[in-house]
Structure 1
């Protein structure tokens, strides 16, 4: 993992087209501003993790349903 130190109003650039700018720093949080192409998807990590978990659960449920359907066809 890369660690960088930035002050308010300072930025970092990723892949020449993504800018992450420190907007505000308080005792409780850091507010970031992000500029990126429409082709990029940006999610908070907790949202991304929840989506991954739900997708995996849906895939498992689909596989179980498909197995049940295959068992019915064999009988």
Structure 2
């Protein structure tokens, strides 16, 4: 992990296309602005974690119980 120290109104870049601006520092909170192309997804970590866990929950709900499926198919014969 690269750690960078910046003051309010300073910035840094990531690659050629992403610029991070430090807009305000107040107490233990830092307000940042991110300039990036629209095709780059920017998401807070907690939102991404929630989405990932929801996707996993849906995926596991849809995995069929193969034993139960086999039993149902055999019962139909």
TM superposition score category, shorter chain reference = 0.7 to 0.9
Partner in structure 1 of residue 43 of structure 2: 43
SS at match of 1:33: strand
Partner in structure 2 of residue 5 of structure 1: 5
- Structure 1 stretches of 4+ with a deviation exceeding 2 A read 66-75
Q: Give the CA deviation at 1:15.
A: 1.6
What is the TM-score normalised by the length of structure 1? 0.85
Give the CA RMSD over aligned residues.
1.6
CA spacing shift, 1:35–1:70, aligned 2, 3 Å: same
* Structure-2 separation of matches of 1:56 and 1:13: 33
Partner in structure 1 of residue 65 of structure 2: 67
Number of residue pairs aligned between Structure 1 and Structure 2: 73
Partner in structure 1 of residue 58 of structure 2: 58
SS at match of 1:13: strand
* Structure-1 separation of matches of 2:74 and 2:59: 23
Matched, 1:19 2:19: yes
